[in-house]
Structure 1
């Protein structure tokens, strides 16, 4: 897996955007991501929709590579770590977590994170409504109340539409960055891309499996 990086300065903090849907914050030794949606693939299969099981496995493998590459000690997840009720994917995630003895996980509660407090405790996850570190505020969804804050959020699954010759179209996930806001792409590969909404004056950092570019 090739890891491409784009350094940006956000409220005097050096953040590293990666082409694998997560930001690394070296000063805090933290990986920041959003919308992993654990349980979504199993939920669809339970309802008769033939979704390949390896989609979730690929998400976890990418995350493992990122954790090991950056030697991250903390995962800060800005919402929707989980997708639905507990299912077999939750057991897979618990087994996967066991390999990281010292990894701390902080979860900003998202609209899909409706699992029980007992389950959160079982995963040793610290659940928050929002987190503020230095001058940065981490929330699931950026709202008007946050307009004077420097926020990092998720929720909208941002993407860009590239137009080629004729009717050729290509959708890519992206980060949306303004002077006081970063919207993260969904970490899960099993999510749609929202190419229709974009914060005012945002720069999009789109990416492929090998590179990152802005426009």
Structure 2
């Protein structure tokens, strides 16, 4: 299933589709000219402030957009697929600052753009692109939340993180999770938090031989920590 661990991206094959896990947490499918990201959570700081939650830096959407722009410049992908929870609440898209809305519009220009519905953003957004419950491309089906029966399934939702013990210290890093049937992407948005792989439901959802592909400067796969 896994092919190689290379600098700047991690190449692997999933249901006969050659894919690349990028350092940022994005997934690149060159044969489809596709960049996949999950759980952007645009407007997270605005929503937290509105509801009296923990104060977050107000520039988290801009940081996420800069990361996305960099990945698009690197991959030159002509289609972007956002795997749900792209916005932190159904009405946040319209409430984003004009600069950020225009930035999203600029990234969409000349590209196909698909928003998959998530539990935070179940309805269409007023920011261009198409809005779908799920999408099947060749051998892969893209949706927000993994299912028990999914095969060739690519999803997000859980914000997986791997916790490792290294020289007496505990380290954690967002990660992709991969087994024979499903691939779960890490959260792409800034300040999104995460769920450790040892936690339910990830520990029970993923098969015993599942791998965690760690994000970072040189993505690499390890056995999924349990």
TM-score between both structures, scaled by the size of structure 1: 0.88
How do 1:37-52 residues align onto structure 2 when only pairs under 5 Å count?
A: 37-48=41-52, 49-52=54-57
Instruction: Give the 3 Å change call, closer, same or farther, for CA 103–90 of structure 1 in structure 2.
Output: farther
Gap regions ≥5 residues in structure 2: 1-6
Pick which of 12-21 and 187-196 moved more.
187-196
1:167-211 deviation per Cα after TM superposition (whole angstroms, max 9, x unaligned): x32110000011121000000121112112341221001122x21
Of 76, 92, 96 in structure 2, the residue corresponding to residue 89 of structure 1 is: 96
Give per-residue Cα distances to partners, 1:92-143, cap 9 Å, x unaligned: 442102323212211211111145x4xx2x3112111111111111111111
2:87 is paired with a residue of what secondary structure? coil
- Matches of 1:189 and 1:162, distance apart in 2: 21
Moved more, 3-12 or 132-141: 3-12
User: Deviation string for 1:5-46 (max 9, x for gaps)?
Assistant: 011011111101101010111011110110001111111123
Q: Residue 29 in 1 paired to residue 33 in 2?
A: yes
Tell me the SS of whatever aligns to 1:160.
strand
| 2:3 paired residue number | none
Displacement after TM superposition at 1:62 (Å):
0.5
Instruction: Provide the aligned C-alpha RMSD in A.
Output: 1.8
Name the structure 1 match of 2:4: none
Structure 1 residue 165 displacement after superposition: 4.3
| 1:17 equivalent in alignment to 2:18 | no
Alignment of 1:59-208 (within 5 A): 59-84=64-89, 85-86=91-92, 88-89=95-96, 91-100=98-107, 101-115=109-123, 117=124, 120=125, 122-146=126-150, 149-166=151-168, 168-195=169-196, 196=199, 197-198=202-203, 199-200=206-207, 201-208=209-216
Q: CA deviation at 1:213?
A: 1.8
Q: Which residue does 2:59 correspond to in 1?
A: 54
Q: Which runs of 4+ in 1 moved over 6 A?
A: none
Long gaps (5+) in structure 1 = none
Task: Give the direction of change, closer, same or farther, for the CA distance of 1:214–1:145 in structure 2 (3 Å limit).
Answer: closer
SS of residue paired to 2:195: coil
The secondary structure found in structure 2 opposite 1:144 is: coil
> What number of residue pairs does the alignment pair up?
205
